[in-house]
Structure formats: structure tokens, C-alpha cells
Amino acid sequence: MYDVAIIGAGVIGSLIARELTKYSLSVVVIEKEADAALGATGANSGIVHAGFDAKPGSLKARFNVAGNKMMEEVCRQLGVSFKNNGSLVIGFDDEDKKVIEELYERGTKNGVERLEVIDSKRLHELEPNVSEKATVALYAPTGGIVCPYGLAIAALGNAMDNGADFRRCFEVKSLEFKDGFYEISDGSENICAKFVVNAAGVFSDAIARLVGDDSFKITPRKGEYMLCDKESGGIVSHTIFRTPSKMGKGILVSPTVDGNLLLGPTATDIDDKEDTSTTPEGLAVIANECLADVPGVPTRTVITSFAGLRSVDNKGDFIIDSPAKNFVNCAGIESPGLTSAPAIAVYVAELLEGLGLELKKNEAFNPYRTSMHEFRDMTMEEKNEKIKKEPAYGKIVCRCETISEGEIIRAIRENPGAVTVDGVKRRTRATMGRCGGGFCTPTIVEILARELGIKYEEVTKFGGESVYNFGKVK
């Protein structure tokens, strides 16, 4: 019997789990996939928004601004890549200028600090590669970038280090409250918990319905991206947004914390909550818009494309409430959900306390976790010390990103251990380079098989039937 079960190992569920392990509670995170961060958290812009977009007074505005302020410290504790690179919303005409001034007003009301409306000269001093045609911009120095899946994985790992459990491949299909606790079932097995948190992303409406809450509906809104080689990462240093229009927030051009260049996202409402395919139309739109904003964007250095689904609810704000006994919704957590996550986590703990969960401080709580990129960031002398102790760190497996066998083994052994090739990828960056894993995938499959004690042909890309091989050759 757990005190709290959290459904969904995205950034929201993972940070809530970590928050709750600060108290003497037994916590389990339940995830239908083979790993954390495979939902929206694995495919988004990774922007730590300043907070000028959301309507004043909304939960989005409140948690965005609060989360923005917390992000740097949370990332420092968890060893997650974060950079305070600042954001720019660029405008091309008078109409854009009006919108930018509104954003400034709104941001100031929301409590965003140091916002500025700047002219073309200042804009091009900050970003020489932005289109000459841009005449005005909103400058938000508090904007940042973060590794979104890195944050979720590290938060979950830290929660596990502090005693939480992680149940993978458990798809919640029913929730039954009786005798003061929930029976959570995937159809064959049960997990019991006194309190349940619904952090199931695009499926949060389905989970809410299991406790009789049909007050909202989630529509998946697809956002497609292209990612460019690191050689292009330096073309801009700030995150460049187009002035929002009726069509949405528009497409951005941003460096990532790993030094790549990210282009996207599009915005298309779809029906299928599992459709993260990219489309020819989407990719074309991205290329065109990015070239208009930053004419030098090197679309020929694209190394991958992907898509994520925003959880758009019909209420226009985050839904964080308690529709049933001992049950909390974290639903409709679309952008700026990543930014808001640390603040939402604190709020949910308070909500649970209000519902009767006793929060007694866990004296043994350790907020720290070693960065997954610890080895990469060492000096040559430090690396050599490490290699002397663990020679596997001297064997490079992924040549594009220079990732060693030691780092891959660590990713498999450390909480929450990687069990798939994509899991290794998200933790170490192996296969994420320009060759797309062509050279190292067979070796990583081998290491996974050996470490997990499974057959070579049982290793998958991301769980389920996503196998690489069908057995031995004849």
C-alpha cells in the first residue's frame, strides 16, 4: 500500500514524485511506457518561458512565473542542463509592435522581471542573424532553455534514490476507491494507494473519467520540429519567437542546451493521441517560417525531425483540482507546463495536504543527483582518474557525441535505469549525433543485452514490439 500513486512519468509526475519524497511518504510513479519522459515531455521546445504569454490571473501565469524562478536551482540540484539564454519575440510591422506592447504589459502584470521592448538596432546587436526586416522585439532576459526529458528522468531518479518506486509498462485501466484507498489496475495486476495524482498528459481526461470526472476533454495538438547539427547551434544565442498571431505562438528558432539548433513547432489539432508522426507539410512550414525569421538557418544540416502532442483542454487553463476523494488532477498541462512543473509540484503537495495527506519532513531527503553529463564536463585529468578506476570510460561507443561505454553502463544502472536504446539515448546522448546511431546502435544493443541479462533480439528501441532484430541468421 502506497501513500501516493502518481499516474504518468512525464515532467509533471516526476517532479511531483520528487517533491513528495521530501516527506515521509511511500510513493509510486506508474507509467504505461517502458521509460519516463516518452510523452509531451520527450518532444517539446525545452523553453523556460519568462511568463508574458499567459493571461494574468490564470494558473498558467502563476505557475509559469513561479516555475521560471525555481528552474535554475532545481536543475542545479538535479544536475540537469539549463541555460538562462534570454528570449526575444521579434516583430516585423506596426501590428506586431502593438502585440509586443501588449505582451510587455501582460508580462509585467504577471510579475515577469526585466522585460524590455527594444528597437531594431538593439535587436540586431543581440542577434545579428535575425532578419533585417525585423523592426522591434520584446526582450525577456529571464527566458531560458532546459533539457526537458533530462529534467524528468533526473527528478524521477532522485525520487527513487529517496525511496520512491517506479512501475513501468503498467497502463492504468481502472481506478476503484474502496475502504479508504484506491485499487489501481492495468487489467491483470493491482497497485494500491491512499491518494492518486493524475499526471497522464494527453490521456489525463481518460484517467479523470475513471473516477467519474468528465468535466473536461483533451485535444492533442501536434507540434513538429526539426533539429540541426551542432555546427549550426551558434547561429542564434537567444530563443527567437515570432510575434504571436491568431494562428498561435508561431515557430521558434532556438539553441538547445546541448548546442544544437531547434526549429519548430507547428500547431495542428489531431484526433489520435498517439500520432507523433511528422508530415511533409509540417516540415515545409517550419523551414519556410524559420528562414523568414533568421535567413541563415541552415536547413541542410537537419539531423532529425520529431513531433510532440500538446494537451489542449477545453477550459483554457491548467486543470489542477480534486474532482474525487483523495484524487488530484494535473490535466491540460500544455505549454508552459515544463516551465511550471517545479511550481506545480509544490502546489500539488499542498493540495494533497489539504485533502488529508500528512506531510512529515523526510530528514534523510537528499536533493542532489550527479549530472548525467558529469564525465563529459570533466577536465582531461579528471577523466583520466575516472578511466583508471573504470576503464569502460576510456572506450568510446558513440563517436559523434563522444560517449563512452562507462557512461552507457551508468545510464543502465542508475535510477531510473535505461532499458531501451532510446532510454540510453535520452540519458547519454549516444546515437543523437549526426550519423543517427548508424555506428553505435549495434554496440549499444549489445551492452543493453549484457547488462540486463536479456537476449540480443529482445532489446528494443523504446519498448513494446520495437525490436531491432528477429533472431540469429541462418
Partner 1 sequence: MEHKQLIIIGGGPAGMSAAVSACNEGIRDILIIEREEALGGILKQCIHNGFGLHKFGEQLTGPEYAERYSDNVKELGIPYITETMVVDVSDDRVVTAVNKEKGYFQIKADAIILAMGCRERSRGALNIPGARPAGIYTAGTAQKFVNIMGYMPGKRVVILGSGDIGLIMARRMTLEGAKVEAVCELMPYSGGLTRNIVQCLEDFGIPLLLSHTITEIHGKDRVEGVTICEVDEKRVPKKETARHIECDTILLSCGLIPENELSKSAGITLDRVTSGAVVDGDRQTSVPGIFACGNVLHVHDLVDFVSDEAEIAGKGAADFIKGIKEEKETVEIIPEGGVRYTVPQKVAKGEGASLYFRVADVYKNVTVALYDGENLIAKKKRPKVAPGEMERFEIKPEYLENAEKLTLKLIFG
Residue 337 binding target from partner 1, ligand FAD, none, CB below 5 to 8 Å by type: ligand FAD
Question: And the C-alpha cell for 14?
Answer: 516526476
Question: And the C-alpha cell for 349?
Answer: 503537495
SS3 label, residue 226? strand
Site string for ligand FAD, 243-272 (x = CB under 6 A): ----------------------x-------
Check residue 465 for interaction with partner 1 (CB under 8 A): yes
- Active-site option among 49, 124, 238, 373: 49
Which position among 2, 34, 45, 276 is part of the footprint of ligand FAD (CB under 6 A)?
45
Q: Does the annotation mark 49 as catalytic? A: yes
Residue 402 binding target from ligand FAD, partner 1, none, CB below 5 to 8 Å by type: partner 1
- Contact at 8 Å (CB) between 266 and 244? no
- Residue 149, sorted as left (phi over 0), alpha (psi -120 to 50) or beta, turns out to be alpha
Check residue 1 for interaction with partner 1 (CB under 8 A): no
What is the secondary structure of 15-38 as a DSSP string?
HHHHHHTTBS--EEEE-SSSSSS-
Site string for partner 1, 291-310 (x = CB under 8 A): -----------xxxxx----
- As a whole number of angstroms, the distance between CA 119 and CA 121 comes to 6
- As a whole number of angstroms, the distance between CA 458 and CA 109 comes to 54
Contact stretch for ligand FAD (CB under 6 A) within 31-39, 286-294, 320-328, 448-456: 31-39
- Contact at 8 Å (CB) between 28 and 2? yes
Site string for ligand FAD, 79-118 (x = CB under 6 A): ----------------------------------------
What is the secondary structure of 108-176 as a DSSP string?
HHHT--S-EEEEHHHHHHH-TTS-TT--EEEEETT-EEE-HHHHHHHHHHHHHHTT-EEE-S----EEE
- As a whole number of angstroms, the distance between CA 118 and CA 139 comes to 7
Within residues 151-210, the interface with partner 1 by CB under 8 A covers none
Which position among 308, 406, 417, 433 is part of the footprint of ligand FAD (CB under 6 A)?
308
Question: And the C-alpha cell for 223?
Answer: 507540434
User: How many other β-carbons are positioned within 10 Å of the β-carbon of residue 25?
Assistant: 22
**Site of grid cell 527594444:** 118
Within residues 359-388, the interface with partner 1 by CB under 8 A covers 380, 383-384, 387-388
Residue 383 binding target from ligand FAD, partner 1, none, CB below 5 to 8 Å by type: partner 1
Q: Which residues contact 468 (CB under 8 A, 6 or more apart)?
A: 421, 441, 445, 457, 459, 460, 461
Check residue 144 for interaction with ligand FAD (CB under 6 A): no
Residue 395 binding target from partner 1, ligand FAD, none, CB below 5 to 8 Å by type: partner 1
In order of 350, 401, 446, the CA distances from 435 in angstroms are 47, 10, 19
Site string for partner 1, 406-445 (x = CB under 8 A): ----------------------------xxxxxx-xx---
- Give contact residues for partner 1 (rule: CB under 8 A): 226-227, 231, 274-280, 282-283, 302-306, 380, 383-384, 387-388, 391-392, 394-396, 399-400, 402, 434-439, 441-442, 446, 456-457, 460-474
Residue numbers of the site for ligand FAD (CB under 6 A)? 7-13, 30-33, 38-41, 44-47, 49, 171-172, 199-201, 203, 207, 223, 265, 308-310, 333-339
Give me the active site residues, please: 49
